[in-house]
A and B are shown apart, each in its own frame.
Chain A
Amino acid sequence: MPSTLVIDSSVFLSAFLEKEVYHKDSICFFEDLKKVQYKIIVPSLVIFEVLNNFYRHGGNKEQEERIFRNLQNSSAFSLIPLDSNFLEKIYLPLHHHFDLKTADSIFATIAFFYEAVLISWDKKLISQTKKHIQALTPKEFLKHS
């Protein structure tokens, strides 16, 4: 099992959605991450997607700020900014491997570049990327680890 993970927005968001079917599994997943020193990569798009959707589904500005502070904390997560450097050295050379929508292709390309496991609750994204990268749901990841 590779020691680098790229975590999709769906995993972070489900940790805050109490009635979501995967809520408890997401909680267990983050609990498990405390035990092993995985390198956890967070594309900066995660921050936008999680914060905006958290707010749109009932969160407030103060709560949003707390999530932001934690997501950008470098002791836990390696934030990958989607800047010209990323575009030139990672995205442009590699995104052709994936026939995906733009946001999905950003996650897949980063996982490909870092030889990381993509962790997502999105089974469609997992099946579409399987050919080129290792992609698992948090539940599957817990079984493997």
Chain B
Amino acid sequence: MQKRELLQYKTISVQELRTNMPEISKNLEYGIGYILIRKSKPIAELRPIQKDDMLAREKVLDFFARPPKSMLIHSKKSAVQIIREDRC
């Protein structure tokens, strides 16, 4: 497995955390985060430390807040109509 920017979340129980710590630790290095659950409720989040997170976050949200003009598309349908038809 290669190191990657994508952070995927897996859910694990407290018991699984105890027994699989070496594997979990290795996965964290590869960018996989964990949601710790107890009694079917999320109680904690375990994720790799990432540098310059805030700046990167703002840059990504900016992409959706100010999409480049060249990326705007035209449709007679609304986003809800498009998604609704897709899910039918």
Chain A contact residues, CB within 8 Å of chain B: 8-22, 26-28, 30-31, 33-34, 49, 52-54, 57-59, 63, 66-67, 70, 72-81, 83, 85-86, 89-90, 93, 101-104, 113-115, 121-124
> Shortest distance in angstroms between B42's beta carbon and chain A's nearest beta carbon?
6
25 contacts between A and B (CB under 8 A): A8-B83, A9-B79, A12-B64, A16-B72, A17-B79, A18-B74, A19-B75, A21-B78, A22-B78, A31-B65, A33-B61, A34-B57, A53-B82, A53-B83, A70-B64, A72-B6, A73-B60, A75-B54, A75-B57, A76-B61, A78-B9, A79-B8, A80-B9, A81-B8, A89-B11
Task: State which residues 39-62 of B face A: CB under 8 Å.
Answer: 40, 42, 50, 52-54, 56-58, 60-62
Given A103-B87, A104-B87, A15 and B33 touching (CB < 8 A)? Answer: no
Q: With the chains together, A77 CA to B50 CA distance in Å? A: 13
Given A30-B65, A75-B56, A90-B11, decide whether A17 and B83 contact each other with a Cβ distance below 8 A.
Answer: no
Are A30 and B64 closer than 8 Å at their CB atoms?
yes
Q: Quick check: is B26 within 8 A (CB to CB) of the other chain?
A: no
In the complex, which of the residues A20, A72, A73 contacts B79, with contact meaning CB atoms closer than 8 Å? Answer: A20
Q: Which residues does chain B contribute within 8 Å of A86, judged by CB atoms?
A: 11
The residue that B53 contacts in the complex, of A12, A53, A75, A90, with Cβ under 8 A, is A75
Q: Shortest 4 CB-CB distances between A and B: which pairs?
A: A74-B7, A14-B79, A75-B56, A76-B60
B80 adjacent to A122 (CB under 8 Å): yes
CB within 8 Å for A101 and B79 given contacts A15-B67, A76-B56, A114-B42: no
Expressed in whole angstroms, the minimum distance between the Cβ of B27 and any Cβ of chain A is 12
Q: Flag if B83 contacts A76 (CB, 8 Å).
A: no
User: Given that A17-B72, A73-B5 are known contacts, is A85 also in contact with B10, CB under 8 Å in the complex?
Assistant: yes
Q: B73 in the interface, Cβ–Cβ < 8 Å?
A: yes
